[in-house]
Amino acid sequence: MHKKITAQQLKQALRGEFDGLINEVVEAVNQAQAGRIIADSEQQVRQASGVFRRRLYEKALQLRQKQSEPAFSPSGQGAGPEVGE
């Protein structure tokens, strides 16, 4: 059975990433010339949000995979046959 991840887990895993996205958007918009805000900032914002979207999805997949993996036992009990058997 696969365990599900929560929104809170994903938020916690990406807390710095989201702040970085916000900073990039603010910087792009603030550096744009008056009367050219969209033209001067749209591509930068699109690229930054695309990178964030990819990282968001990757992190969600990693968390889901981590939830689905059986716990590692350093004692080796229940891990199957020993090497060399």
**For the segment 9-64, what is each residue's pLDDT rounded down to a tens digit?**
999 999 999 999 999 999 999 999 999 999 999 999 999 999 999 999 999 999 99
More confident residue, 48 or 2: 48
At residue 7, the pLDDT reads 95
Q: How many residues does the chain have?
A: 85
Separation CA 30–CA 53 (nearest Å) = 22
At residue 28, the pLDDT reads 97
- Asked whether 2 and 64 are in contact (CB, 8 A), the reply is yes
More confident residue, 3 or 45: 45
Q: How sure is the predictor about 75, in pLDDT bands with cuts at 50, 70 and 90? A: low
Of 66, 79, 59, 80, nearest to 2 (Cα)? 66
